[in-house]
């Protein structure tokens, strides 16, 4: 049995022997901590922790000293598109010049642009590029990530993307969840006949994805100019037959009913939420669905900010994720997302930490194995540089506060 003991931890954060599956409302300000602590890892699993006065015998254990350092659970980034063929800074200048997401899509940019490149992309190259991105986000402290398909938009290419994600799952130490997002946009060939594309998603793509067991979840871009409530419902009903729980893109561009549609189909999460009012909040309050905000996309696209404060103050849980993708949020840096959550969305520092740990885990169905420092959970941990306080993490917004990331008990 491999044993690692981390000692002299200045502050062990989000550590409790039993931990809720998600935290909501006022409880988002709570973060159980142990000062001057030890933590024991056995075979990649958290085995115990406590104050240094009661450190267990360290015989046969590797020892790591974390003096002056904090230890936290790794970030859980529950919404990304990090398998993509190439960066899209070429259309970036158009964005600066003020063209909207929809205008860029009309000019052949946006998702359809990525889809065209994806169809031509080499599977090994896609894998190698994505592995490099995973290594980069691990340096920023991410230990679990959801990755979506959706730049394929043909059956063959969607399957290609999902196979790349499957290979990443097998070969990367990061815990990965895979989401089938065939309904990311209506491809050019189906322009004027989106229902026919929806039929393709339902009758051809979904059975093929299920046959190869390539996806954990299903996603639809349910918003103005993308897929309607009716189309979304049809896809989610079909996906339910394959036990694919929804995690959907909702209310980024309008009060489009996406949130309510997700809830109706027992979505694990509804993501984006720039257009969230009282009606949407009330629907969320009566559900188990996790609201997920994507500050990077709002920052990069200059969208209005989702009402994070209203959501939390209504008693709901909240998650923050990167939306890492080449078009609308070209960064997988969760520390910057934490800072944005705090600076731009007025979330308190502890709320942001809960948002990206236990609530992020919940938004991927991983709350039983990740998201807190709890015996029995995976030893996916961040060891910080010397930092003065939890508040310093969102505050020092341009700095990498992570010194080491540990995944499955192993220093990366």
Indicate the burial class of 170 (C-beta count within 10 angstroms; 0-12, 13-18, 19 or more): exposed
Does 37 interact with a copy of itself (rule: CB under 8 A)? no
Rounded to a whole number of angstroms, the minimum distance from the CB of residue 252 to a copy of itself is 17
For tokens 């359809």, the residue is: 112
Rounded to a whole number of angstroms, the minimum distance from the CB of residue 86 to a copy of itself is 7
Structure tokens, 242? 């394959």
Nearer to a copy of itself, 143 or 327 (CB): 327
Q: What phi and psi, each to the nearest 5 degrees, are found at residue 102?
A: -70, -40
The CA-atom distances, in angstroms, between 140 and each of 11, 30, 345 are 19, 23, 21
Of positions 2, 56, 63, 90, contacts a copy of itself by CB under 8 A: 90
Rounded to a whole number of angstroms, the minimum distance from the CB of residue 74 to a copy of itself is 17
The candidate with the shortest Cα–Cα distance to 132, out of 95, 171, 77, 158, is 171
Rounded to a whole number of angstroms, the minimum distance from the CB of residue 293 to a copy of itself is 16
Does 331 interact with a copy of itself (rule: CB under 8 A)? yes
Does 330 interact with a copy of itself (rule: CB under 8 A)? yes
The CA-atom distances, in angstroms, between 300 and each of 41, 100, 112, 318, 322 are 39, 12, 19, 21, 11
Nearer to a copy of itself, 190 or 305 (CB): 305
Q: Is 182 helix (H, G, I), strand (E, B) or coil?
A: strand
Nearer to a copy of itself, 28 or 259 (CB): 28
Tell me which stretch binds a copy of itself (CB under 8 A): 53-61, 81-89, 216-224, 246-254.
81-89
Tell me which stretch binds a copy of itself (CB under 8 A): 47-55, 113-121, 257-265, 341-349.
341-349
Rounded to a whole number of angstroms, the minimum distance from the CB of residue 40 to a copy of itself is 30
Does 89 interact with a copy of itself (rule: CB under 8 A)? yes
Nearer to a copy of itself, 95 or 234 (CB): 95
> From residue 42 to residue 71, what is the string marking binding to a copy of itself with x (rule CB under 8 A)?
------------------------------
Does 305 interact with a copy of itself (rule: CB under 8 A)? no
Nearer to a copy of itself, 76 or 379 (CB): 76
- Helix%, strand%, coil% for the chain, nearest 5: 35, 25, 40
Of positions 87, 188, 193, 203, contacts a copy of itself by CB under 8 A: 87
Residue 377, by phi and psi: left (phi above 0), alpha (psi -120 to 50) or beta? beta
Nearer to a copy of itself, 92 or 190 (CB): 92
Rounded to a whole number of angstroms, the minimum distance from the CB of residue 392 to a copy of itself is 5
Nearer to a copy of itself, 29 or 155 (CB): 29
Alpha carbon 99 to chain centroid distance? 27
Does 150 interact with a copy of itself (rule: CB under 8 A)? no
Does 396 interact with a copy of itself (rule: CB under 8 A)? yes
Tell me which stretch binds a copy of itself (CB under 8 A): 4-12, 37-45, 292-300, 401-409.
292-300
Residues 225-264 that bind a copy of itself (CB under 8 A): none
For tokens 């257009």, the residue is: 275
β pairing state of 33-42 and 45-51: antiparallel
Does 347 interact with a copy of itself (rule: CB under 8 A)? yes
Neighbours of 179 (CB within 10 A): 27
Burial 70-95 (b: 16+ CB within 10 A, else e): bbbbbbbbbbbbbbbbeebeebbeeb
Of positions 42, 199, 391, 403, contacts a copy of itself by CB under 8 A: 391
Does 333 interact with a copy of itself (rule: CB under 8 A)? yes
292 within 8 A of 363, measured Cβ to Cβ:
yes
Own/partner contacts of 30-33, CB < 8 Å, gap of 24 or more, are: 30/350, 30/354, 31/350, 31/353, 31/354, 31/390, 33/390
75 within 8 A of 334, measured Cβ to Cβ:
yes
Alpha carbon 116 to chain centroid distance? 25
**Which parts of this chain interact with a copy of itself (CB under 8 A)?**
86-87, 89-90, 92-93, 96-98, 136, 140, 296, 299-300, 302, 330-333, 336, 342-344, 346-349, 388-389, 391-392, 394-400
């Amino acid at each position: 049995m491999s044993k690692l003991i981390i000692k002299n931890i200045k502050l062990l954060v989000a550590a409790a022997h039993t931990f809720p599956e998600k935290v909501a409302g006022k409880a988002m300000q709570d973060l159980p901590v142990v000062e001057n602590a030890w933590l024991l890892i056995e075979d990649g699993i958290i085995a115990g922790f406590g104050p240094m006065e009661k450190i267990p015998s360290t015989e046969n254990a590797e020892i790591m000293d974390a003096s002056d350092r904090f230890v936290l659970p790794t970030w859980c980034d529950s919404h990304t598109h990090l398998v993509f063929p190439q960066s899209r800074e070429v259309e970036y200048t158009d964005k600066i010049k003020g063209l909207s997401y929809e205008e860029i899509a009309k000019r052949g940019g946006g998702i359809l642009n990525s889809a065209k490149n994806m169809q031509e992309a080499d599977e090994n190259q896609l894998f190698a590029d994505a592995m490099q991105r995973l290594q980069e986000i691990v340096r920023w402290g991410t230990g679990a990530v959801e990755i979506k398909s959706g730049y394929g938009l043909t059956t063959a290419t969607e399957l290609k993307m999902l196979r790349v994600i499957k290979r990443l799952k097998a070969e990367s130490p990061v815990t990965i969840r895979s989401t089938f997002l065939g309904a990311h946009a209506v491809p050019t060939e189906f322009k004027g006949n989106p229902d026919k594309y929806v039929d393709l998603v339902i009758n051809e793509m979904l059975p093929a994805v299920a046959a190869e067991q390539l996806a954990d979840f299903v996603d639809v871009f349910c918003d103005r100019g993308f897929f309607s409530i009716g189309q979304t419902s049809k896809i989610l009903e079909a996906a339910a037959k394959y036990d694919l729980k929804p995690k959907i893109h909702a209310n980024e561009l309008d009060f489009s009913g996406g949130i309510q549609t997700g809830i109706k189909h027992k979505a694990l999460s509804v993501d984006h939420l720039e257009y969230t009012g009282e009606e949407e909040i009330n629907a969320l309050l009566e559900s188990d669905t996790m609201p997920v905000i994507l500050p990077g996309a709002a920052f990069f696209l200059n969208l209005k900010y989702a009402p994070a404060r209203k959501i939390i103050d209504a008693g709901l849980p909240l998650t923050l994720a990167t939306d890492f993708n080449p078009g609308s949020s070209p960064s997988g840096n969760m520390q910057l997302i934490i800072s944005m959550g705090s600076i731009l969305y007025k979330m308190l520092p502890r709320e942001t930490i809960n948002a990206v740990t236990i609530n992020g885990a919940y938004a991927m169905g991983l709350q039983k194995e990740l998201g807190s420092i709890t015996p029995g959970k995976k030893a996916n941990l961040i060891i910080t540089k010397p930092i003065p306080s939890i508040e310093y993490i969102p505050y020092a917004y341009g700095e990498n506060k992570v010194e080491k990331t540990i995944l499955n008990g192993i220093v990366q």
